[in-house]
């Protein structure tokens, strides 16, 4: 069974019967009243249809003579655009072409991405977007969001209001650009990751792009190349820190709370010193989400739930090694621990004892000298007394020492330490357990802790595998292909966000995230075949994320955090009414219409 077929089979079985029978009027079925005419509508990416404007629309909107004679369908436009995209011979050139299309025509842009989703997501998101961000100042053509720079802090509210006045904004994606996609501090270029995340929210989560806002907090940069680049377009000073930084971020957050009280605020690619503490500070006062912590944790939780389903065990029975205790690694640990508490009924203390976190000083233990652990790592430190024998005069306890002693059932890599899961590590792990769970999640693919084909070979095809980047299937001893699950945040964060927006939840609760992860795990192809992928195929991500959004919104209603008065039974139809699809709407000219 293919991964895709398995996902769709489970999806069809999972949907409630009434969902197939509901008669829902989509927004795209209703004529759109638009106030722009002539050049104004042709230069608006939101409303431009290019050659797809009908004869009647060309007359009404003053476009006769401004366009070639023939009226094209969206399908024909996609065919032409795909041929142009395919003629570009480098991913960055493809990225630039698609960015240009996005600046001209949203519907065509998203329709093209949707039609070729697996091919285009790596171009508009990771890994190619990292190259685009690294070259942001050199490639700069036009702005793509809201830039809030520290020197202009006193006029921040005016700049913010200029962007949102007259608009309904459901989603704000913000970055301070310190930890971009594995390439580190990229200064103001980080706006492009906020924009890319917004694209995925629309493409996969079906959030209306006109209701999203990408933001960069330009607090300076410690990237020496940018500090000395005469073409750098951001504030060319070292990063502000401490109270100055906190006050600047807080001023922004309070503007969101004041002017967009029902929005979701998505924190993206903040540095390890700030990500966890900002999430803790604001998550109880606004609907706040950090994809690097919660999204990575949620998709990994879904993969882990699928894996333990295959092994017939529970999460709380696992012995879990986290190799790379940074933002992502501790986010995963926290999410798995929360699930052990919520699903298995474990205490927080007992669940914490299931984890062994390894970072630069080796295994985190409570006797490490001051300064070797960050504040957010202390709760994960193991008692030093457990490891007296393993030290044997050494300064650190390494991965192989941990694997030999605790016989882990699950190994999670978020270190960007390529090849860290050596043959010795994998074979030692596999010698003590029938179905080792091995998640090498570092991006890009050249930085994975172990190539999944090697892990498959070193475990004689017994490992349950997931990676952070796409890999081709591995060969089982039987000769059959084993699809490698891609633990891609795009499988879950768009649905989590859409569910929070749909329910107008006052906060994103742990229960909401776990509900989304459980729904994703329920759609695993491995449920129908234990030797299939642990997670759905990325091609199915739009359908999967709609299911996640429904689960999240239902949980918000159950938790009492929702700002809507619906019953849980109404959520699916409400979601269908709100989704945005890349289709051309009929336009009617109205001086009081949208602009």
Q: Which of 457, 10, 311, 539 is nearest to 1 (CA)?
A: 10
Gap between the Cα atoms of 406 and 383, Å rounded = 14
Strands (E), 464-578: 464-467, 474-475, 481-482, 485-486
49, 102, 197, 206: the active-site residue = 197
Gap between the Cα atoms of 137 and 498, Å rounded = 32
DSSP state of 566: -
Burial class (CB in 10 A: 0-12, 13-18, 19+), 88: middle
Q: Which element (helix H / strand E) includes 276?
A: helix 272-282
Q: Output 399-402 pairs: Cβ under 8 A, ≥24 positions apart.
A: 399/321, 399/323, 399/358, 399/425, 400/424, 400/425, 400/428, 401/363, 402/321, 402/356, 402/358, 402/363
Based on the residue annotation, tell me whether 232 is a catalytic residue of this protein.
no
Q: 413, 399 in Cβ contact below 8 A?
A: no
547 CA to centre of own chain: 16
Whose structure tokens read 């008692």?
Answer: 383
CA dihedral 119→123→128→132, nearest 10 degrees, is 170
109, 125, 136, 245: the active-site residue = 125
Alpha-carbon distance values, 339 to 275, 371, 413, 517 (Å)? 21, 30, 19, 9
| Length, in residues, of the chain | 595
Q: 542, 114 in Cβ contact below 8 A?
A: yes
Greatest CA span in the chain, whole angstroms? 84
Whose structure tokens read 């697996």?
Answer: 118
Gap between the Cα atoms of 361 and 67, Å rounded = 64
First to last CA, the chain: 49
Q: Output 521-525 pairs: Cβ under 8 A, ≥24 positions apart.
A: 521/301, 521/302, 521/303, 521/305, 521/306, 521/309, 522/10, 522/14, 523/7, 523/10, 523/11, 523/14, 523/547, 524/10, 524/302, 524/306, 524/309, 525/1, 525/3, 525/6, 525/7, 525/10, 525/483
Q: Which of 192, 170, 166 is nearest to 181 (CA)?
A: 192
Per-position DSSP letters for 322-369, written without gaps between them: EE--SHHHHHHHHHHHHHHHHHH---HHHHHTTEEEEETTEE-BTTSP
Q: Which of 429, 374, 368 is nearest to 395 (CA)?
A: 368
Q: Which element (helix H / strand E) includes 171?
A: strand 171-175
Based on the residue annotation, tell me whether 197 is a catalytic residue of this protein.
yes
192 CA to centre of own chain: 14
Q: Where are the alpha helices (DSSP H) in 15-116?
A: 17-21, 39-42, 55-60, 74-87, 91-104, 106-115
Show which residues are catalytic.
125, 197
């Amino acid at each position: 069974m293919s991964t895709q077929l398995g996902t769709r089979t489970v999806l069809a079985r999972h949907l409630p019967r009434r969902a197939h029978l509901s008669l829902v009027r989509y927004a795209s079925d209703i004529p759109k009243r638009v106030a722009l005419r002539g050049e104004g509508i042709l230069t608006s990416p939101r409303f431009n249809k290019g050659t797809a404007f009908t004869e009647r629309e060309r007359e009404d909107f003053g476009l006769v003579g401004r366009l070639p004679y023939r009226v094209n369908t969206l399908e024909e436009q996609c065919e032409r655009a795909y041929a142009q995209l395919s003629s570009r011979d480098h991913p960055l050139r493809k990225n630039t072409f698609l960015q240009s299309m996005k600046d001209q025509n949203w519907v065509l842009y998203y329709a093209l991405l949707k039609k070729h989703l697996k091919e285009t997501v790596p171009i508009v998101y990771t890994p190619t977007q990292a190259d685009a961000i690294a070259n942001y100042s050199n490639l700069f053509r036009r702005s793509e969001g809201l830039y809030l720079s520290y020197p202009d802090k006193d006029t921040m509210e005016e700049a913010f209001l200029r962007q949102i006045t007259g608009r309904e904004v459901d989603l704000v994606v913000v970055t301070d650009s310190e930890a971009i996609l594995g390439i580190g501090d990229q200064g103001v270029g980080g706006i492009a990751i906020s924009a890319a995340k917004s694209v995925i929210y629309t493409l996969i989560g079906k959030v209306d792009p006109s209701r999203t806002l990408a933001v960069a907090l330009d607090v300076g940069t410690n990237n020496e190349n940018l500090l000395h680049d005469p073409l750098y377009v951001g504030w060319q000073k070292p990063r502000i820190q401490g109270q100055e930084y906190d006050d600047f971020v807080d001023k922004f957050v309070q503007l969101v709370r004041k002017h967009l009280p029902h929005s979701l605020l998505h924190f993206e690619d903040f540095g390890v010193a700030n990500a966890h503490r900002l999430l803790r500070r604001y998550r109880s006062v606004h609907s706040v989400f950090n994809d690097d912590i919660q999204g990575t944790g949620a998709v990994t939780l879904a993969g882990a739930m699928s894996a333990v389903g295959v092994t017939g065990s529970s999460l709380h029975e696992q012995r879990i090694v986290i190799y790379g205790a940074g933002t992502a690694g501790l986010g995963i640990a926290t999410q798995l621990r929360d699930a052990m508490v919520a699903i298995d009924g474990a205490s927080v203390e007992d669940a914490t004892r299931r984890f062994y976190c390894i970072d630069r000083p080796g295994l985190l233990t409570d006797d490490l000298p001051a300064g070797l652990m960050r504040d957010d790592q202390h709760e994960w430190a193991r008692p030093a007394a457990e490891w007296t024998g393993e030290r044997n005069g050494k300064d650190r306890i390494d991965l192989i020492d941990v694997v030999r002693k605790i016989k882990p059932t699950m190994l999670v890599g978020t270190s960007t330490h390529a090849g860290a899961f050596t043959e010795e590590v994998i074979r030692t792990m596999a010698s003590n357990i029938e179905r080792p769970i091995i998640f090498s999640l570092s991006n890009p693919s050249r930085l994975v802790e172990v190539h999944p084909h090697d892990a498959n070979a070193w475990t004689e095809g017994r490992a349950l595998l997931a990676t952070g980047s796409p890999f081709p299937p591995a060969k089982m001893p039987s000769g059959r292909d084993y699809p490698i699950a891609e633990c891609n945040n795009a499988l879950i964060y768009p649905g989590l966000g859409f569910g929070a927006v749909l329910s107008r939840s006052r906060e994103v609760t742990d229960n909401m995230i776990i509900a989304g992860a459980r729904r994703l795990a329920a759609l695993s192809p491995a449920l129908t075949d234990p030797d299939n992928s642990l997670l759905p195929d990325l091609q199915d991500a739009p359908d999967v994320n709609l299911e996640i959004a429904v689960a999240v919104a239902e949980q918000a209603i159950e938790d009492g955090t929702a700002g809507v008065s619906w019953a849980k039974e109404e959520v699916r139809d409400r979601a269908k009414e709100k989704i945005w699809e890349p289709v051309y709407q009929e336009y009617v000219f109205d001086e009081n219409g949208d602009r």
